[in-house]
Amino acid sequence: MYVCKSADKRLESYIAGKEVETSFNRVDHQKIKCGFGQQGVCCRLCANGPCRITPKSPKGVCGATADTIVARNFLRAVASGAACYLHVVENTARNLKAVGERKGKIKGEKVLHDLALLFGIDSEDVYEKAIKVAEKVLQDLYKARSEKMELVEKMAYKPRLEKWKALNILPGGAKSEVFDAIVKTSTNLSSDPVDMLLHSLNLGISTGLYGLTLTNLLNDVMLGEPVIRKASVGLKVIDENYINIMITGHQHSVIAHLQDRLTDEDMKKTAEEAGGKGFRLVGCTCVGQDLQLRGEHYQEVFSGHAGNNFTSETVISTGAIDLIVSEFNCTLPGIEPIANEFMVDMICLDDVAKKSNAEHIPFTMDRDEEISEYIIEKALNSYKNRRSKVVLDIPKDHGHDDVITGVSEKSLKEFLGNTWKPLLDLIAEGKIKGVAAVVGCSNLTALGHDVFTVELTKELIKRDIIVLSAGCSSGGLENVGLMSPKAAAFAGDNLRVVCEALGIPPVLNFGPCLAIGRLEIVATELAEALNIDIPQLPLVLSAPQWLEEQALADGAFGLALGLPLHLAIPPFITGSKLVTEVLTEKLPELTGGRLILEDEPAKAAEVLEEIILDRRKGLGLI
């Protein structure tokens, strides 16, 4: 069977030795791509279609040009991506509100206090504060499109806010903005590509500030703030002696009760009676990264992060997973037959991620205890039923034990002495040339699984550019060892010395894709410290192996923030000269951001380095 290349050679050889069909095998059968799809010039909006743009047929039946078709497709994709993240923040805020109402566990009082202060909430009681903070978020999300969201003004960096006002892209109610983006891109409605691109930036802002940033912070309130620590990653974290529950998704608060319940003393006894040492949550996909990020708070129950989106199928094929609990993407349909083969029951807590063979148990905070008990019982029964019938095969040599995790905008600043000055000094001295955020998904098509991400990252650190990562990219980077202190050896001489002195890796692990929001807080705070706007920073963004619509919504935020954004695979836009020109050439004059399309890692690193050098020059640094 064909096996897709991975930057993670041990993973690749493990998959090659298995008879289990995964995405790594299927990608070969899908290698012939539709060129119209790749260029974004296929329109399926009406029964006169599908129409495709060719030199001999430059317009659809309705008269839509390539520019219109591409812009419509792009805005639709961004709207879907924004909707996904807004769904996550909506649930997170609802969960926080419920926690406040029942006076439940608040583990991050400091964050809650900061948010209340920022939002202008005047209340002494911590629970009342939680309710009001959550309500503020929800009220904004539910506003009409004609009403601007209030928290944008409070959260956004002022120079950016002014820029967004000038461009008229300040979002109204986030859900309404998504709604009208869908209206706008329906049959024979908008044909104005520029308006649709501006709408994409508008959705980027609500994705970034609410979907990403606020989801992180509200989760920190409920689950505790990230603390920098050393952790194990890779398939080796799976311990067959425990009853293992694999979690997939993006909504950490949904398993807040479960992870606490599993640490109770009686749980250990229950597991022991069945023959296990206890219960363990095995991290996979972004919620696994989130579990890892806040891992300080429940070390005994979290086994570690096993791998990213396209590692999930393999995690199940180790045979040691007893139950899968999913609450969002990236829950691949490909896990279903594998779960069936390995007799792993699946429970879905949110119907947006309903898998065909999963049992749907709709999660609400008021039923969390009951749902946790149900999940535990399911896991227990599954463990008892399946372990004698399946073959266990855990590659204990896959992964690393010294990954530095728990890095956030706050923990990093704290590490530096509660100020960004040491980092800024290192940048000013040229010991660190600049900062690159290598983020987003993993895919199997940009040279292979994590191949582009890892090669680009190596190129960047070699050039003394420190890399921050969030998303499945970090799942890949940590599994190949680049997030361990020993990876300093791969860095350029200047960066290597810095890393060795501080005992840090040259690639910092911010966790899930949601934490792209944390990186953007870092960018904002660095700009603030220097009293400049974000596009002046020697800081670049790359989502080399972007996979999904959410990544495009994240990217739209990066562009709205004024960051250069590199992608290895074009986001289905090259069929329109206008859209391509606006995003790759005109955007610097609009937001300061810029889309960079480059499909070779070394060349991409070169382009990003040039931008950093150029920015340094602009700041008077050599």
Q: Does 251 bind another protein (CB under 8 A)?
A: no
Give the DSSP letter of residue 460: H
Residue of 32, 47, 391, 622 interacting with another protein (CB under 8 A): 32
Residue 179 host element (H or E):
helix 174-184
**Least distance to another protein, CB of residue 63, Å:** 14
Q: Does 481 bind another protein (CB under 8 A)?
A: no
SS3 11: helix
Q: Are 195 and 541 in contact (CB under 8 A)?
A: no
The response to whether 34 counts as a known ligand-binding position is yes
SS3 272: helix
495: CB partners within 8 A, 6+ apart? 431, 432, 433, 461, 464, 465, 466, 488, 506
Q: Does 60 bind another protein (CB under 8 A)?
A: no
Q: Does 44 bind another protein (CB under 8 A)?
A: no
Kindly tell me which of 214 and 573 has the beta carbon lying closer to another protein. 573
Q: Does 63 bind another protein (CB under 8 A)?
A: no
Kindly tell me which of 56 and 389 has the beta carbon lying closer to another protein. 56
Give the DSSP letter of residue 510: -
Instruction: Report CA-CA distances (Å) from 572 to 70, 147, 360, 580, 597.
Output: 7, 32, 34, 10, 11
Residue of 54, 186, 187, 364 interacting with another protein (CB under 8 A): 54
Cα dihedral 24, 30, 35, 36 sign: negative
The response to whether 286 counts as a known ligand-binding position is yes
Residue of 38, 357, 536, 584 interacting with another protein (CB under 8 A): 38
**Least distance to another protein, CB of residue 54, Å:** 6
Q: Are 261 and 372 in contact (CB under 8 A)?
A: yes
Residue of 39, 202, 309, 591 interacting with another protein (CB under 8 A): 39
Considering only the stretches 50-58, 84-92, 161-169, 357-365, report the one whose residues sit in contact with another protein under the rule CB under 8 A.
50-58
Residue 282 host element (H or E):
strand 279-284
Q: Does 33 bind another protein (CB under 8 A)?
A: yes
Residue found by looking up tokens 């993670």 in the block? 8
* DSSP H stretches of helix in 443-576: 451-462, 472-479, 493-502, 516-530, 549-561
Q: Does 55 bind another protein (CB under 8 A)?
A: yes
Q: Does 567 bind another protein (CB under 8 A)?
A: no
Q: Does 58 bind another protein (CB under 8 A)?
A: yes
Give the DSSP letter of residue 363: -
**Least distance to another protein, CB of residue 444, Å:** 18
HSE (side-chain half, CA atoms, 13 Å) at 291: 37
Q: Does 198 bind another protein (CB under 8 A)?
A: no
Give the DSSP letter of residue 246: E
Q: Are 316 and 344 in contact (CB under 8 A)?
A: yes
> How far apart, in whole angstroms, are the C-alpha atoms of residue 49 and residue 57?
13
Residue of 34, 47, 391, 622 interacting with another protein (CB under 8 A): 34
Which residues 520-549 are close enough to bind another protein by CB under 8 A? none
Site string for another protein, 570-599 (x = CB under 8 A): x---xx-x-------------------x-x
Of 461, 513, 463, residue with least CA distance to 483: 461
Considering only the stretches 27-35, 243-251, 258-266, 298-306, report the one whose residues sit in contact with another protein under the rule CB under 8 A.
27-35
Q: Does 488 bind another protein (CB under 8 A)?
A: no
> How far apart, in whole angstroms, are the C-alpha atoms of residue 282 and residue 357?
20
Pairing outcome for strands 229-233 and 400-405: antiparallel
The response to whether 472 counts as a known ligand-binding position is yes
The response to whether 252 counts as a known ligand-binding position is no
Q: Does 47 bind another protein (CB under 8 A)?
A: no
Pairing outcome for strands 594-597 and 345-348: unpaired
**Least distance to another protein, CB of residue 446, Å:** 13
The response to whether 513 counts as a known ligand-binding position is yes
For residue 57, the tally of other CB atoms under 10 A from its CB is 10
Amino acid at 600: E
The response to whether 348 counts as a known ligand-binding position is no
**Least distance to another protein, CB of residue 585, Å:** 16
Q: Does 191 bind another protein (CB under 8 A)?
A: no
For residue 269, the tally of other CB atoms under 10 A from its CB is 10
Tokens encoding 38:
């790749």
The response to whether 62 counts as a known ligand-binding position is yes
* DSSP H stretches of helix in 44-120: 66-101, 109-119
Tokens encoding 569:
């695979």
**Least distance to another protein, CB of residue 570, Å:** 6
Considering only the stretches 35-43, 88-96, 429-437, 477-485, report the one whose residues sit in contact with another protein under the rule CB under 8 A.
35-43
Considering only the stretches 48-56, 158-166, 283-291, 386-394, report the one whose residues sit in contact with another protein under the rule CB under 8 A.
48-56
Residues near another protein, by CB under 8 A? 32-36, 38-39, 41, 52-56, 58, 66, 570, 574-575, 577, 597, 599
Residue stretches of the annotated binding site for [Ni-4Fe-4S] cluster = 250, 286, 330, 441, 472, 513
Residue stretches of the annotated binding site for [4Fe-4S] cluster = 34, 42-43, 46, 51, 62
Residue stretches of the annotated binding site = 34, 42-43, 46, 51, 62, 250, 286, 330, 441, 472, 513
